[in-house]
Structure 1
Amino acid sequence: MRNRIEHPKVFISYAWGSEDYKIKVLSFATDLMNDGIEVILDQWSLKEGNDTYAFMEQSATDPTITNVLILLDPVYEKKANGRDGGVGTETQIISPEIYNKVKQEKFLPVIFERGIKGEIPKPQYLKTMLHFDLTQEEKYDLEYRRLVKRLYGIEIVEKPELGKKPSWLDERSTIPTKTRSGYEGLKQQKSDSVKKDEFKNFLLAIKEKIVDFTKDEFGDNISAEEYISLYDDTRLYRDEFLYLLKYSIYIPESYKIIASVLEEICVGVKNKNGYEGEVMRTLLHELFIYVVAYYLKNKDYNALSYTLSKTYFVGKYGYSQDQSFDAFYDNNTNLDRAVSQKDNQQYYSGTANYWINNINVEICNKNEFVFADIFCYNAAIFVENYTSSWFWFPLTYVYGKLTCCAR
């Protein structure tokens, strides 16, 4: 991290051109002075009778000067390459400082005026250096602020702290080879009806695992680690479902089959008792967001529209209680509490934190998952058959870069 500079002091190197150009340089230097940056500029620092070479040499090499700003225009480029006049003299002083230091941060090229055809006028000795560009009026303020930050030693783009090795690095595929081979068969040339039946049967097999999920009896109290471990066990079903989801592109109108099986899962876990019931309802919530994220990512708007506008019959045995996609929403306070306790943090949503930190990157990235969650919120506002009196609340919205989408 670069050290902050409390009192920046800069020397401005530029080529004498027209009177208007000198006024432009003077205005720029004045702005820097107004922003607390001491500026050494010949127009107010060099007096009659002074030695210009000594002034340039002292200013360019003075250790109290924190930066030298090299204002570039076509005149400067020409004089620097030809070692002509004062610019040529400064080039002879500055270029060794640049060439002889692999990592130098003192000399900063600033594009001040472009060529007739918009070309960037960089002298040969500055060709490989990154620069600031003050030639575009619409971006001037932003670029000027970037420059001022740089002069104060403030990182323009803050480097994030180094995190921990992700847990998924050491994970092996939990999907059996036989299962994966079966899914591969969906790519083969078969009739649509056969492929639909095979795809549905694969989904129903996963559904049965989810609905029938049981663990050893838990007492009245379960530790945070035990509860998280219980939810960890559902990831096997999540990943198998999502692995199969990738093959849906080979199945005509697969989204109708997926929505139907999600509906059946919802019926199966809706009234499931105990901690197993809790985690399976949370898993269903997570799976639904992944399905929406997958359709959004692949621009499958027919599937998206169908899934979000469908009426789901999720009462017991499917005979009652018609609902919209809010049927898949779950609020697991036990998982929220367990994740916060385990990490000794007060998370906004422990459930969302768990989802984001264990994202299945084969389906979507973190921001795509968050966007899908927020998209469900917006759909809840506009979908006509949304049945709940409350709108789908996106648990994950504080964990992505898209919080502006939620109101």
Structure 2
Amino acid sequence: MESETKIPKVFISYSWTTTEHEEWVFDLVQKLTEHGIDCKFDKWDLASGDNKYDFMESMVTSDEIDKVLIICDKGYQEKADNKTKSGVRTETQILSPKIYEQVDERKFIPVIAERSDSGDAYLPAFISGKMYVDLSNEDREKEEFEKLVRDIYEKPKYQRQALGSRPAFLDEEQVSTATLDNVLKDINQSIKTQNVRRVKSLATKYKDNFVDIMAEHIIKYEQISDQDELPNLIVKKISDFDTFKENFLQFIQKLDEADCMDAELFIDFFEELSEYTGHISSLYNSRTFLEDQFDHFKFLIHEMFLNLHSLAVERKDYAFITELVHTEYELKSLNHVGRKVDFTYFRFYLPTLAKLSQNSQYSASKHAELLKNRYSRRDFTKIKNADIILFYVDKIALPDSAKSWYPVTFVYVSEFHPDKNKFFSDLQSKKHFEQMKSIFKVEDKQDFIQKIQKLELPTVGFKRVPGIETWIDNLNNIESKP
């Protein structure tokens, strides 16, 4: 605690330039004294008969003096730079290179008392490169005086914090999409040369590479030392997969640009990705496994399915949607190999995220929260719309499905101010409804309305999945326009 109670001692080195300047220095010394600083000052500490030059040298070199304040005005600079001869020149001899070798240069604090007409500080040559305290500007005098006091006490305003630990992310495995990026570059080049055939070939290559890369991100059972930590590990993996999601978005946007959105390609894509939704072949030698350890793959696959349908809805490719929602997918995971399922299989329930839902912004779904945080508001609205559409396709067209497409993002749909969903609001158009019939497998308007009216919409807490009437004021308005 000695450093906290020690009274700092400073020596004031200044020039007797003018009576006015001497008064300025005297006022400064008084202020410093009021702030608990012991000032060695010639007007106090020199008596008749004392040698002022010996006094100056002894003060500068004394171990009892913590700081030497060099009060810089025009007179001090001129005398220190040998333009005139005075007592200050003796101080200049003290502050010579020889003295610098004996005294720590941090002991000296230049204090600017005056500036030239051009605004330059009057600094002697031997300290021209040192940081200084500027008391020449009345507007900044209070701030600069505090800085001077802090420098004397060696208590800077901005203190160095304790050194932290090595960042954990430096030792984490980095997610690389370099192989996929190279294929995307080739696709882009083929689009520029209008080589559609090569675009389709590269699309298959992209799909194969994507599926293969997923194997690098398997969580093996042996890696799960504490099952209570698995949910957090899954969230970390989901965060890492944001890179793959963005890459996939670029891929489907490029195919859309080239008019090469082939439903068969994506059916194969999701069938092959299904290997990562259960007991994976590369883990066949593992003695045991947890279904939950594949939740990061299930999250990504579900997200990709939403992304794909979001784009198809936006480009109004209803034939593409029809093919994807009414095909049978053949599963590849070892515990389900060969099993045929419909599209609702890809709406997974994720136990690890369910365990975290109690800490979610919306306690109903951590899954929804993670999805929301990965998109801009505009893009997330597209995801929500695609999610609701797939829910109604499931309920209306596949009432006997073994699973159901629960719209996980509906917790973010406002009951009173819902986002626009043109897919449903456009059902008022006869042309649009005709294109929709194949998706919903309905014969006509009445068939569609009857099936909607029979639906029981699920609720979570006090929140219900929004009905189609949310976007159409009256179901009878369907086909009311050309």
Shorter-chain-normalised TM-score: which range?
0.5 to 0.7
In structure 2, C-alpha distance between the alignment counterparts of 1:247 and 1:151, rounded to whole Å? 63
Matches of 2:251 and 2:88 in 1, distance apart? 65
1:98 and 1:284 map into 2 onto residues whose CA distance is 70
Counterpart of 1:336 in structure 2 is none
Aligned pairs for 1:163-178 (under 5 A) are 163-178=164-179
Aligned identity (percent) is 24
Question: What letter corresponds to residue 317 of structure 1 in structure 2?
Answer: L
Counterpart in the other structure of 1:19: 19
2: CA distance between counterparts of 1:289 and 1:181? Answer: 28
Corresponding letter in the other structure for 1:120: A
For the aligned residues, what is the CA RMSD? Answer: 5.1
Cα deviation, residue 17, structure 1: 2.0
Greater relative contact order (CA < 8 Å, ≥ 6 in sequence):
1
Matched with 1:127 is 128
User: Which residue in 2 is equivalent to 1:38?
Assistant: 38
2:236 aligned to which of 209, 222, 232: 232
Q: Tell me whether 223-232 or 9-18 shows the greater mean CA deviation.
A: 223-232
Alignment map for 1:353-392 (pairs within 5 Å): none
Structure 1 unaligned segments of length 5 or more: list them: 293-304, 328-387, 389-407
1:317 counterpart residue number: 390
1:93 Cα shift? Answer: 1.4
Deviation at 1:187, TM superposition (A): 5.8
With over 3 angstroms needed to count, the CA separation of the structure-2 counterparts of 1:19 and 1:245, relative to structure 1, is farther
How does 1:195-214 map onto structure 2 within 5 Å?
none
Between the two proteins, the alignment pairs up a number of residues equal to 301
Q: Deviations over 1:161-205 (max 9, x none)?
A: 2222223323454324421213435764847x99xx999xx99x9
| 1:190-339 equivalent positions in 2, closer than 5 A | 190=191, 223-241=227-245, 261=307, 272-276=349-353, 285=369, 288-289=372-373, 291=375, 306=378, 312-313=384-385, 314-315=387-388, 317-319=390-392
Structure 1 residues 10 and 179 mapped into 2: Cα distance closer, same or farther (>3 Å)?
A: same
In 2: Cα distance, 1:140 partner to 1:61 partner: 29
Find the aligned partners of 1:47 and 1:250 in 2 and give their Cα distance. 90
Gaps of 5+ in 2: 258-302, 311-343, 358-364, 393-406, 416-462, 464-482
**Cross-structure match for 1:299:** none
Post-superposition offset of 1:34 = 0.7
CA distance in structure 1 between the partners assigned to 2:139 and 2:186 by the alignment: 56
> Residues 215 and 276 of structure 1 are in contact (CA less than 8 Å); yes or no, is this contact kept in structure 2?
no
Change in Cα spacing, 1:236 to 1:278, as seen in structure 2 (3 Å) is farther
CA contact (8 A) 2:230 2:352 kept: no
Give the stretch that moved more between structures: 116-125 or 235-244: 235-244
Alpha-carbon distance in structure 1 between the residues aligned to 2:256 and 2:135:
54
Query: What secondary structure, in the 3-state scheme, does the structure 1 residue paired with 2:111 have?
Result: strand
Q: Equivalent residues in 2 for 1:11-90 (5 A)?
A: 11-82=11-82, 84-90=85-91
TM value normalised by structure 2: 0.49
Q: Structure 1 residues 156, 263: closer, same or farther in 2, change over 3 A?
A: farther
Report if the CA contact (8 A) 2:368-2:411 is conserved.
Answer: no
**CA 1:71/1:252 → structure 2, altered by over 3 Å: closer, same or farther?**
farther
Report deviation, 1:151: 1.1
Give the aligned partner of residue 342 of structure 1.
none
Structure 1 length-normalised TM: 0.57
Give the structure 1 partner of residue 183 of structure 2: 182
SS in 2 for 1:147: helix
Q: Is the 8 A contact 1:12 1:68 kept in 2?
A: yes
Q: Which structure is larger by alpha-carbon Rg, 1 or 2?
A: 2
